[in-house]
Amino acid sequence: MDHIDRPRIAQLREADPSPELIDVYAWVRTKRDSKAVCFFELNDGSSLKGLQAIIDKEQYPLQEAIDRMQTGCSVRVRGHLVESPGKGQKVELACSDLEIIGEAPADSYPLQKKRHSFEFLREIAHLRGRTNTFGAVMRVRNRLSWAVHRFFQERGFLYIHTPIITASDAEGAGALFQVTTLDMQRLVNAAPGTELNYQHDFFGKPAFLTVSGQLNAEAYATALDRVYTFGPTFRAENSNTTRHLAEFWMIEPEVAFCDLECNIALASEFVRFLLADILEHCSEDMAFFDQRIEPGIVEDLRRVAESEFRHISYDEAIRALEASDRTFEYPVSWGIDLQTEHERYLTDEYVGGPVVVTDYPRDIKAFYMKQNDDGRTVRAMDVLVPRLGEIIGGSQREDDLATLERRIDELGLERDAYSWYLDLRRFGSVPHSGFGLGFERLVRYVTGMQNIRDVIPFPRAVGSAEF
C-alpha cells in the first residue's frame, strides 16, 4: 500500500495534467463499459464529486478486472492525469493498471446507483457514509468540529475533558441512564421487595451517564479562567422525534469574570464564526445541500453569519407573541417555556434575523442560574436563529453561596450531592457564565437535514441502539 500521504481525490481533481504515474485507492461509484473504452468514477470520501477514470482497452487489456469491477468495490488504479474533455472536471485519470481489492457483488450490495430513502439508509448506517448525502454530512461535521476547537483555542480557552459517568444530575431533570455493575437479572429473580444495596455496586452509590459537563467545567473555569468541553452527553427522554437523540455531543464553554452580556457576546461571535468557516471551507458540500436538501440554505446561513444578533427580554418576546394574532399550538402566556413555533416566529417575523432572548422566569430554568433582583427571573439567555429556533442556551451562573443553597432547597435537591459545587462559591467565588450548544442540532441546522438521526454516524434513540 502507498504511504498515508498519497494524493486524495479532492487534491487530484484540482491538479494539472501530468505524465507522472500515480496510484489511486478508492471505491467505484459508477461504471460505463464499451467495446473500446471503460469509464468509471472513483471516490475516496475526500470530496463530493469523484474522479473520472478511463481505460483504453485496446492499449491496456484489463477486461478481466473490468468485468469484476462493480459499484461499491474497492480498487487500486494506476495511471496519470490528463486534461478532461468533459464539463465540470479539470482532469481525469488515464489508467494503465487496475487491481480489485475488495469486491461488491451487484446482487447483494445494497447501494446501487439509485436514490435511497433516508429511512432505508438508517437501517444500513454502517454503509450510508458511502452515499453523496452522508459523505457530505460527515465532511461538514468534521469541519465544524475543527472550527469549534479553533474558535476557543484562538481565544485562550483550555479544552477540559469532563466525566462521562457522574453521581449528580446537572439539570435536575431526572432523565438519566443509570450505570451499574449489579447483576440486574439476579435482582429481578430475587424475592419481591428486595432493595438495591449500592454498597455492592462499583461506585458504592447510584451513578449515571452525564447529561452535561457544565458543573464540572465551572470548577475549572473558577481556576483557569476560561475552559470548554466538547464531548458526548446522554438523555433518557422517551422522545421518538426528528429532534431528539439519546446520545449526542455538547459544546459547553465556561468563563470566569464574565456576566450575561459577556456571555451573549461570546455566543453570538461563536455562531457567526462557525457559519462563516463552513461556508468558506465546505462550499462544494454546502452547494449540494442547497440544491438537494434545503434550497436557499447557503444564503440563509450567510445572512446569519453577517448579522448583528438583536437582544430582547423574555417579557418583550411574550408581548410580541401575544400581539401577533397567531394561533399557536402551544398557547402563549407569561411563564411558559418558549416552543419552537414561538422561537421561529420571533426570528423569522418579529425580528427578521437571529435574536437573543434573556431573563426567563426562574421557575422554568435550572437551579444554577443567576437570579435577578426582581425575584421572578434569572439571567438566562437563548440564542435563536431563523429556520431552527434555539441553537444555544446559557446563563450567568449563581455565584452567591446563600442564594444558591436556598435555590437547591426550594427544588428539593440534596445539598450533599452538590457540596463540591457549593465549594466553588465558598472559596474565591466570581461572576461566571457559560452556554451549551448541541452539536447535532448545529449540524442539522447547517446542512438542512430534517432528522437529527441523519447527522450523527450511528444514532442512538428510543428503541434504537444498533451498530
All domains in the chain, ordered by first residue: 9-102 (2.40.50.140), 129-176+211-454 (3.30.930.10)
Query: What pLDDT sits at residue 170?
Result: 66
Q: Are 461 and 246 in contact (CB under 8 A)?
A: yes
pLDDT along the chain (467 residues), means of 10: 81 95 96 93 96 94 94 96 89 96 94 87 94 97 98 98 86 77 77 75 90 96 98 89 92 98 98 98 98 97 97 98 94 96 97 97 96 96 97 98 96 91 97 98 97 96 87
Q: How far apart are the C-alpha atoms of 386 and 445, rounded to whole Å?
A: 10
Query: What pLDDT sits at residue 237?
Result: 85
Query: What pLDDT sits at residue 114?
Result: 78
Query: What pLDDT sits at residue 2?
Result: 59
Q: Where are the alpha helices (DSSP H) in 177-313?
A: 184-189, 214-224, 260-281, 283-292, 297-305
Residues 6+ apart with CB under 8 A from 298: 279, 286, 287, 289, 290
Q: How far apart are the C-alpha atoms of 63 and 56, rounded to whole Å?
A: 10
Instruction: Tell me 196's DSSP state.
Output: P
> Within 10 A of 209 (CB to CB), how many other CB atoms are there?
19
Query: What pLDDT sits at residue 66?
Result: 94
In whole angstroms, how far apart are CA 346 and each of 353, 382, 383?
Answer: 8, 12, 11
Phi, psi of 395 (to 5 degrees): -170, 165
